[in-house]
Structure 1
């Protein structure tokens, strides 16, 4: 598997980038990894990087983006935060990834059995975690406007809704990324990762 170069990156379309991620996840699920020399990739990327994708995902230890998409060093920007929420710093990071570093796709990836979403659904409050979980509350309220006790299925619905709201937030709060998407330079898409099967489903 070749290391990402400027030439390879420039010739990729957003659709190509999407396909590469789908194919990578298929290999991961099948437990068949692409052959890579990571030491060579370290050397090849030492003077520059040309990732084709930026993935916003949760900090959950079961959801490492590079592994679940079977990518190597220099292939993707990985942005991780509990509950895969969006804030100003993350938007800035995504703008850097796409506008300056040339990435072709922005993926917001939630996952099943998310502790942050579960915490938001159960109104957990603790130090600096409280304002972070508050950012998930709009998704909670959309799925459960009555505020009653939530079952597992409803909590999983909140996870999907949280991803969709993050996508909308990216488009609304980042003129840079919104314009790039309208121009066909990038794709902005949501996804859900199953911690049970390892499969990624694009929304």
Structure 2
């Protein structure tokens, strides 16, 4: 019964799309293209003029559009050609590898807009730090954002003490966040959502501190106000990015 209903809904959606397209081609429906946000590839001059605060506001605004399904119209073929020889991204985002967290989409960004570093549990190591240094010191990005997310498998595994191949070693980078999470009541397992949320946030805070402690380049840029280093948590249920203080 459910399969038949799904097939019917899918067929109805396809029919509606064909009908709308035909009406647009016939001119019976007019699209207000002035209301569509179109974002061009950033130039070196435009990147240089941005402040870290500007970039943070743009990421916030992009996430609001993502949540509303009001995404920017982009000509990807044009953006590919425009960024072939150089890139001037606004930020670098450290995210988890989770397939349900599409970073560029979450912030409504396109080709050439942001660097993205991904590792399960969004923790820093020398390779990630080197990537952040390249993104900021060499390529001019103005913001470093560490973004965790709810329902993170790596966080769950670190909490529950999973041991499996190289995953065991990887989880050692997350376990300190588990140990420092002491405010939540109830069992200290991945079944306790409040505890998991606390660990997710502490993992973000800890890695922000690690960035400042383990990279003299990023710390100096931060102290001079050339970049900002922020944290956030992506809510899997709503698509909202919650920026941390």
TM-score, structure 2 as length reference: 0.81
Aligned partner of 2:227 in structure 1 is: 186
Q: Structure 1: how far apart are the matches of 2:109 and 2:88? A: 13
Q: Structure 2: how far apart are the matches of 1:124 and 1:65? A: 27
Deviation string 1:109-164 (CA, Å, 9 cap, x unpaired) is: 0000000000000000111111111111111011159xx64212101110100000
Alignment of 1:30-109 (within 5 A): 30-109=68-147
1:176 and 2:203 aligned: no
Aligned partner of 1:136 in structure 2 is: 174
Give ranges in structure 2 of 5+ residues lacking alignment.
Answer: 1-38
Q: Which has the larger radius of gyration?
A: 2
Q: Structure 2: how far apart are the matches of 1:12 and 1:20? A: 10
Report the Cα offset of residue 78 of structure 1: 0.4
Runs (4+) of structure 1 moved beyond 4 Å? Answer: none
Q: Match of 1:119, SS? A: helix
1:201 and 2:242 aligned: yes
- Greater relative contact order structure (CA < 8 Å, 6+ sep): 1
1:17 and 2:55 aligned: yes
Q: Structure 2: how far apart are the matches of 1:149 and 1:156? A: 11
Deviation string 1:9-56 (CA, Å, 9 cap, x unpaired) is: 011000001011000000000000111111100000011000010000
Give ranges in structure 1 of 5+ residues lacking alignment.
Answer: none
The answer (yes or no) to whether the contact 2:188–2:195 under 8 Å persists in 1 is: no
Give the root-mean-square deviation of aligned CA atoms. Answer: 1.1
Q: Match of 1:83, SS? A: coil
